[in-house]
Amino acid sequence: MIRPLKLAHTSDVHLYDGCTKERDSFTRVVDAVIETGADLFLIAGDLFDHNRVKAGSIDFVYAQLARVACPTVIIAGNHDCFDPSSVLRNMDFSASGEHVHLLAEAEGRTIEFPELHATVWGRSMVDHDETNKPLAGSPERLRDLWHIGMAHGLYVDYPESGRSSLITPDEIAATGFDYLALGHVHVHGQMKHGNTLACYPGSPTPYDLNRHPSCLTMVELVPGKEAVATQLELPVREAVSA
């Protein structure tokens, strides 16, 4: 029988050289992933603010992800897009451990986690423009396993908007994912289409703490029940040194 699953989901961390607030926020995210006992950690794009970050920022990410025990899956967003100059392209996440997986393929790729009774599909962004369809090529469910997706783009209910990297209600419903981990929008938001719960987790380093707290989204998948996503507010502490 398929087992219950606890997911931790973040996106839009926007790390860059000298970013003390962002580093502290990502440290608190990793703390929460560990403290909540998450079974799976999803980073849905824009881990980095741009593709010109230096070795210090890369080593910081390696060190933080090495602290995580559960499988961790990463996709590229529009800020750290997987073009020829991508910082992600030149990283070796095995430096953090074999539990860290980058879904680098523009056409998308599925990873199966037998111990979790789950699959995770995602595709890394190469071009952030009108031609990019973040959910294009999403697969059908594999056997009786949790069907989880990742995508970085803009949710709209009017696909003729002319915006880039659009994700529509019909596309979400058609995936059949039990949970769709989104990135790109910096505030927490949830939408349900068909049987799929999709969610933006909210940036862990918000621009306005009075309106939008520093947060991580926790997701509970329980057999026979609808997915439940909860915004977990993270404590604000003194920033770590760059």
* β-bridge partners, 72: 41, 100
Edge to edge, the sheet with strand 196-200 lists 109-113, 118-122, 146-152, 179-183, 196-200, 189-193
Residue 213 confidence (pLDDT) = 73
DSSP state of 108: -
- Of 3.60.21.10, 3.40.630.30, 3.90.1650.10, 3.40.50.970, which CATH number belongs to 5-233? 3.60.21.10
Whole-number Å distance between alpha carbons of 149 and 110: 9
Token pair listed for 58: 């890369």
Residue 127 confidence (pLDDT) = 83
HEC per residue, 1-49: CCCCEEEEEECCCCECCCCHHHHHHHHHHHHHHHHHCCCEEEEECCCEC
Residue 242 confidence (pLDDT) = 42
Domain locations in the chain? 5-233
Whole-number Å distance between alpha carbons of 80 and 153: 13
Q: List average pLDDT for each run of 10 residues in the chain, which is 242 residues long.
A: 96 95 95 98 97 96 98 96 92 97 94 98 86 92 97 87 86 98 95 98 78 86 97 71 43
Question: pTM above the 0.75 mark?
Answer: yes
**Cβ–Cβ under 8 Å, residues 71 and 102:** no
Residue 208 confidence (pLDDT) = 62
**Cβ–Cβ under 8 Å, residues 218 and 42:** no
Contacts of 151 (CB under 8 A, 6+ apart): 44, 75, 122, 123, 134, 135, 167, 180, 181, 182, 183
Residue type, 9: H
What are the residue ranges of helices labelled H in 140-192? 169-175
Element (H, E) at 208: none
Element (H, E) at 155: strand 154-155
Q: Is 5 exposed, middle or buried (0-12, 13-18, 19+ CB in 10 A)?
A: buried
Q: Could you give the dihedral angle defined by the CA atoms of residues 28, 74, 65 and 55, in that order, rounded to the nearest 10 degrees?
A: -100
